Chain A
């Protein structure tokens, strides 16, 4: 029997994901967006670090339980990522707008280089999105020149309309993807 696994932005019924996970994880962890759990859990960053760009003071409740639930549902099946050892942890999760996420990426690229313009959600600033930051011993399942670095300690996933997709990869230093709440950044 051929086992079909997937990476990238996909939507899969939770039951299918659960049934396929064992076989698929031997190859890679695919993107899975499961129905959100009905039991919300408190949101908390798994670690605390100093952002690499200046931010406004964070509000006490800027990340929501819904974001944590949605991101936690991906922990065993992070899009386009293979876990090499240990477990993945959720470093941060926020419900954001397109404009807030664009600001986050813009600030990140000011620090790290790279990036692009126009920003991905520039034409839909009010779009409701979920941002997830995961830490772990990852290999990213992404295209690139032969021999490119596919190891990563931190990745950023965006959930849009129920589809989860890998958007940003820290190649060596996880702090290049700050856990800062995008809502606290001045636009």
Chain B
């Protein structure tokens, strides 16, 4: 079943939907975990590098947690001009901010958004197990998780890469694998994407996904 919401195309089918373009400002290919109600935290593992021919462009490998009222927290890797940086956005209803921006080392990184374990109130950002920043949101649970690829340039050429080891947790439980290939969002053209497994979302821009 295809659902189109103001440029957003999501489907419960496994096959990618080809319906919208990302021009001019938001290209994306995201896997989505949304089948578990009442609480999410998330982790993902990813590593990729922009083609050197795209030096000067910027793209992101994000993961975000969306709260029931639409507020969201995002963490991931930003690729620009051959450099990688960790970043995190925090968006309230009225404002969006970088809350963290740091040089990233080459290699795979595990990003995690989770509840603060000391007071169980705020949401914390971890990279490779290390605490980085607290997102000062007071919502008790997230509504859904997304992860994959973003850019703002429909002319980028980015080879297919995987966002993998996708996990979630609810409440005080332990992290579990994403399951069910719940949903995805795709701007196509120029993006493609597919579930390689229930815990691995592949994405690309102006390049084949398979």
Residues of A within 8 A of B (CB): 2, 4-10, 27-28, 80, 82, 105, 108-109, 112-118, 120, 139-148, 150, 165-173, 176-177
Contact = CB atoms under 8 A, between A and B. Distances in A.
B90 A115 contact: yes
Given A116-B99, A117-B134, A143 B76 contact: yes
B72 interface: yes
Nearest to A108: B95
Nearest to B88: A116
Interface in B116-131: 122, 125
A141 B60 CA distance: 11
Contacts of A8: 58, 78, 80
B136 interface: yes
Interface in B74-125: 74, 76, 78, 80-81, 88-101, 122, 125
B55 interface: yes
Nearest to A8: B58
Interface of B: 5-10, 24-26, 28, 30, 53-58, 60, 62, 64, 66, 71-72, 74, 76, 78, 80-81, 88-101, 122, 125, 133-137, 146, 150, 152-155, 185, 187
A91 to B, nearest CB: 15
A105 B97 CA distance: 9
Contact of B94 (A2, A116, A139, A172): A172
Contacts of A10: 56, 80-81
A119 to B, nearest CB: 8
Contact of B56 (A4, A109, A139): A4
Contacts of B133: 116-118
Contact of A112 (B92, B98, B135): B92
Name B's interface SS: strand
B163 to A, nearest CB: 13
A150 B7 CA distance: 12
Contact of A116 (B5, B135, B154, B187): B135
B48 to A, nearest CB: 15
A142 B98 CA distance: 10
Contacts of B135: 114-116
Name A's interface SS: loop
B91 A115 contact: no
Contacts of B187: 146
Give the residue among B26, B88, B96, B136 with the most A Cβ atoms within 10 A: B96
25 contacts: A5-B57, A5-B153, A10-B56, A27-B155, A28-B25, A105-B97, A114-B71, A114-B135, A115-B136, A116-B125, A116-B134, A117-B136, A118-B133, A140-B25, A142-B89, A143-B76, A145-B66, A145-B185, A146-B26, A147-B7, A148-B91, A165-B98, A168-B98, A169-B96, A171-B95
Nearest to B64: A145
B80 A144 contact: no
B90 A28 contact: no
Contact of B91 (A114, A139, A147): A114
Contacts of B53: 2
